[in-house]
Chains A and B, each alone.
Chain A
Amino acid sequence: MRLLAVLFAFFFANAAWADCPLDLGRGTGLVIFSDHYMIAFRPDPLRIEVGEPFALLFNVCTKSGSAGELVSVDAHMPEHKHTMNYHPSIVSKGDGRFRAEGLVFHMAGHWEISIDVRAGEEIERLTHDYYIK
């Protein structure tokens, strides 16, 4: 709830981002942002199961309105100190939309998803904590 409130305040204060399409086909996904980027994403299928492959659908928007690129997606379990046993591949769907395929969370618990994006030279990493039961 708090995140949402912050998000809306943010949204209206930054007219440039109002164009960013947050809808990912099945309602709005998770939203994360930094000074330069706003990223909406959701898993496909929507419910991630332990040990089952899934994809992540992304919308990458930049504050400046220039095209943002999804460079890589990865995930690890900070408490267990291991990554995924799989390396996701990324397909661009145009218009700032991307699909990362081949993720598997092979244990229940806390996963940190890292999302590397760029809109020019520099790559910026955004992260998101995901808890799978």
Chain B
Amino acid sequence: MRWGPLTALLLAALAAPAEAQAPVDWSEAEIRLVGQHGPWPPPPVRDPSNRISDTPAGIALGEYLFNDARLSGDGLMSCATCHQAGRDWSDGRARGKARADLDRRTPSLWNVGHSHWFGWTGAGDSLWAQSIRPILDPEEMGGSWARVARLLREDKDLACGYDRAFGTKPDSDDERLLVDAAKALAAFQATLVSPRTRFDAFRDALVAGDREAAARYGLPEQRGLKLFVGEGNCNACHFGPRFTNGEFGDIGIAFFVRPGEVDSGRLGGIAALVASPFNLLGRYNDDPSGTSARRTQHVRRLHSNFGEFRVPGLRQVGRSAAFMHNGGFATLEDVVRHYSEVSPDRLHSDGTPLVRPLGLSAQQSTDLVAFLRSLDADPPTRPAPPPLCP
């Protein structure tokens, strides 16, 4: 009896490295699933609801406005205060902070142009509508239409940048000028595309059948990826090249903001969307075909919307300071532990069996984290923008 545990230990010691070294086999079906997470980068987006989307002059004006603190009520806060280029377009905090502490985490803006719902609850249906919210929100920048409009009219460079972007001089319609400023902000943000990663090199090699190139991707990463598209079923929601299907889910994250107060998630998001004069059904949508408004027109309120949050994309995820809408997890290890141990009682929806405790082994957990980290890469440093109107 005394040698029992020792033998077990020895066996484990022998078995572990062998398992850790074994090459990973990829079936046709798995290769197809992995292929769905690329190619990367995607073609540039053109948003038909924004007439200056994907135009150089619109993008240039947007970058200036993004960094301009004069958009805020006290002249001290710009978009870049919270969405910092050097911090993957977020703020390095678990939850946002302005005048007041915010209840949700500041999302990174990488690849934001490819979304169709914006914010953690999809309260915005276009990137430009979403860019209006922080300007007017008294808890965030506390600005106003009049203030933004005056800035566009009176600042010589901005007025010139506006003229170049829109083909007319800023006029006296304050609300429209605010929307136009947001459309320029959107044009700029849509250019923020995350760099290619080690995962992308592997994905392309696997799809092309290039075994030599594929072998450069670590075995833990490969095993983690296999789990992600297989047993873990992570790709049911984290689907496609951005690792999100762009919709909403409930994975059992606490929704109490503070005792007695809940974040209703998507439920509140739909209410805000419907109430917004800036949604795609309103008069500021530049798309005469109406195609861009299809989701807004048909979106459906469901009981399960309560406590649902947007499925985040996972590119550059490991570079985040915290995870989930409320910044409730500090590390990727915590996130994976959550998926491994989540109690079904914590799921607020009516028993959708998409999230269940996976009961991962220590090695599986490390593998999954290794895979998630392979979705990160250092972005090239950004050059300072050229002058708006030299």
A102 and B294 contacting across the interface, CB-CB below 8 Å: yes
| A50-B240, A87-B300 known; A104 vs B353 contact (CB < 8 Å) | no
Contacting residues of chain B (14-40) with chain A, CB-CB under 8 angstroms: 32
B350 and A81 contacting across the interface, CB-CB below 8 Å: yes
| B314 close to chain A: CB less than 8 A | no
Would you give 30 A-B contacts (Cβ < 8 Å), ordered by A?
A: A50-B240, A50-B245, A51-B239, A51-B240, A51-B245, A51-B246, A51-B247, A53-B298, A80-B352, A81-B350, A81-B352, A82-B352, A83-B300, A83-B302, A85-B247, A86-B299, A87-B299, A88-B298, A89-B298, A101-B294, A101-B298, A102-B295, A102-B297, A104-B295, A106-B247, A107-B239, A107-B245, A108-B235, A108-B239, A133-B32
| A88-B298, A107-B239 known; A81 vs B247 contact (CB < 8 Å) | no
The 10 A-B residue pairs with the shortest CB-CB distance, nearest first, are: A102-B298, A87-B300, A86-B298, A106-B247, A53-B294, A51-B245, A106-B245, A81-B352, A107-B236, A82-B352
Task: Find the B residue at minimum CB distance from A108.
Answer: B239
Contacting residues of chain B (288-316) with chain A, CB-CB under 8 angstroms: 294-295, 297-300, 302, 304
* Contact partners of A84 in chain B: CB under 8 A: 300
Q: Name A residues whose Cβ lies closer than 8 Å to a Cβ of B.
A: 50-51, 53, 79-89, 101-102, 104, 106-109, 133
A107 and B300 contacting across the interface, CB-CB below 8 Å: no
Q: Bits for B209-249, please: 1 = Cβ < 8 Å to A, else 0.
A: 00000000000000000000000000111011000011110
Complex CA gap A80/B297 in Å reads: 25
* Contact partners of B330 in chain A: CB under 8 A: none
Question: How close is A38's CB to chain B, nearest CB, in angstroms?
Answer: 27
Complex CA gap A100/B239 in Å reads: 26
- Give the number of residues in B that approach A within 8 Å (Cβ atoms): 23
* Contact partners of B246 in chain A: CB under 8 A: 51, 106
* Contact partners of A81 in chain B: CB under 8 A: 350-353
* Contact partners of B248 in chain A: CB under 8 A: 85
Complex CA gap A79/B352 in Å reads: 9
* Contact partners of B245 in chain A: CB under 8 A: 50-51, 106-107
Question: How close is A90's CB to chain B, nearest CB, in angstroms?
Answer: 11
* Contact partners of B294 in chain A: CB under 8 A: 53, 101-102
Q: A80-B354, A85-B299, A89-B297 provided; 13 other pairs, C-beta below 8 A? A: A51-B240, A51-B246, A79-B353, A83-B300, A85-B300, A87-B298, A87-B300, A88-B298, A101-B294, A104-B298, A106-B246, A107-B237, A108-B235
Question: How close is B95's CB to chain A, nearest CB, in angstroms?
Answer: 27
* Contact partners of B297 in chain A: CB under 8 A: 89, 102
With a 10 A CB-CB cut-off, give which of A85, A86, A104, A109 has the most chain B CB atoms: A85
Dominant secondary structure of chain A at its interface with chain B:
loop
* Contact partners of B299 in chain A: CB under 8 A: 85-87
* Contact partners of A53 in chain B: CB under 8 A: 294-295, 298
Contacting residues of chain B (234-287) with chain A, CB-CB under 8 angstroms: 235-237, 239-240, 245-248
Complex CA gap A88/B300 in Å reads: 9
Task: Find the A residue at minimum CB distance from B235.
Answer: A108
Question: How close is B359's CB to chain A, nearest CB, in angstroms?
Answer: 20
Complex CA gap A120/B13 in Å reads: 73
* Contact partners of B300 in chain A: CB under 8 A: 83-87
B302 and A85 contacting across the interface, CB-CB below 8 Å: yes
Complex CA gap A89/B354 in Å reads: 28
* Contact partners of A87 in chain B: CB under 8 A: 298-300
* Contact partners of A104 in chain B: CB under 8 A: 295, 298
Question: How close is B115's CB to chain A, nearest CB, in angstroms?
Answer: 11
* Contact partners of A102 in chain B: CB under 8 A: 294-295, 297-298
Question: How close is A114's CB to chain B, nearest CB, in angstroms?
Answer: 15
Question: How close is A108's CB to chain B, nearest CB, in angstroms?
Answer: 7
Complex CA gap A100/B242 in Å reads: 29
Complex CA gap A50/B351 in Å reads: 22
Task: Find the B residue at minimum CB distance from A51.
Answer: B245
* Contact partners of B235 in chain A: CB under 8 A: 108
Task: Find the A residue at minimum CB distance from B299.
Answer: A86
Complex CA gap A82/B246 in Å reads: 16
* Contact partners of B350 in chain A: CB under 8 A: 81
